[in-house]
Amino acid sequence: MKIKKTSLRKSFEDLGKIKVLVIGDLILDEYLIGSVERISPEAPVPVVWVRNEKQSLGGSGNVVQNLSSIGVSGVVFGRIGEDKAGESLEGLLRSHSVAENDLVLLKSKTLPTILKTRIIATHQQICRVDREEVVPLTKEEESSVLNQLEIKLKECSAVILSDYDKGYLTPSLIQSVIRLCNRENKIVTVDPQVSHFFLYQNIHIMTPNHHEAGKALGRKLISDSEIESACREISEKLTPEAMMITRGEKGMSIFERKTDSFYHIPTVAREVFDVTGAGDTVITTYTAFVATGMSIADAALISNVSAGIVVGKLGAATVTQPEIEEALQTLGYLDVNQ
C-alpha cells in the first residue's frame, strides 16, 4: 500500500476547509508529575514529590484536540458541570480553535465535570483518581441536543460519536444522531462502547479494538481469520460501509463491505511509551481524511501511522501533518514520484 504524495498534499489542503462534529463524553485529564525518593511512614506506598501539574482534554475532548492538531475545525457537543474543572475544560476546548458558536455544551448544576487525575513519577503512572457520576441525559436534554445538532450539522462534513459510556450518548440519542446524519448524507464514524455495541447501525465505520469486538461477540479475536470472521459478523448486524478492528502490536484490520475486501496493516510503532488516547487518534485521522475524499484504505493507513506516532508520546498525545508525512515517507508508504 502506498499513498501518492500529491494526493496526500491535496488532502492536507482540504483538511483546513472542513468541519467535523464531535459528540460524546467530555473528560478533563489532570497530570501530577514528580519523583519518588521515599516510602510513606503511614503506609507502604511511595511518596510522590509533585514538581509539575498539567491538564488536557480527555474523552471526546481528545478527539477535538486531535482534529485541531491536523488543522481541522471542530464542532463540540458534550456535557460538563458548573465547576472549576468545567471552566478548565471549556477553556482548553477554546484553546484548540473551537469557536464559541461551535461549542454546544450542556452545563449541569448537579453533576461534576468528569475529572481523571493521573499521578506520575519518573515516567511511570503510580495511580489514577477518577471523579465522576454517570447519569444519562433526560429526554428533554436529548431533544435539546438533537435540535441544536440539526442546525450545526449543515456546516459539517462528518460526525464522530466518541462513546465513553458516561451518560451523554444514551441509546436513543445514538440512534437519533445516526438517523439524522444519514438523512443529511453526512459521514458518521463511531469509537464504540461494548454496552452500546449493536446500536450503531447504518454508519460509515466503527473502530473498536480487538478486546472490545471480542467481548461484544463473546469470544477472543487473535488470528487474521478470526478478525475477518468478526468483521463480517458485525457488519451483517450493523451494515456499515466499513469495519475497522485495531489490534495493538498487530496493527489494524479493515473490512470494506461493498467490495468484500480486507486490509491487514501491521503496526508501525517503534516504541510504545503510552497508549492513552491512541484510539482517539485513529478515529480522528481516519474520519478527517475520508471527509476530504480519500479512500477507506488510504485513510486507514494514515490512521495506523498516526497511532504509531502518538503511542511514543506521554499522555493523550496528538499528531501533526508534518509528522504524518515524515512517517509515511520513512516507512515507505509514500509514493514521492506521484
Q: How far apart (Å, rounded) are the C-alpha atoms in residues 193 and 117?
A: 22
**Residue 280 falls in the annotated catalytic set:** yes
**DSSP string for 128-185:** EEEE----PPPHHHHHHHHHHHHHHGGG-SEEEEE--SSSSS-HHHHHHHHHHHHHTT
Residue type, 332: G
**Which cell numbers in the block locate residue 91?**
477553556
Cα–Cα distance measured from residue 114 to residue 13, given in angstroms and rounded to the nearest whole number: 35
Report the alpha-carbon distance of residue 135 to residue 63 in Å, rounded: 22
In the DSSP assignment, the letter for residue 308 is H
Q: Which one from 163, 280, 298, 335 is the annotated catalytic residue?
A: 280
| CA gyration radius, the chain | 20
C-alpha cell at 313: 508520546
Q: Which residue has the cell 472542513?
A: 18
Give catalytic residue positions: 280
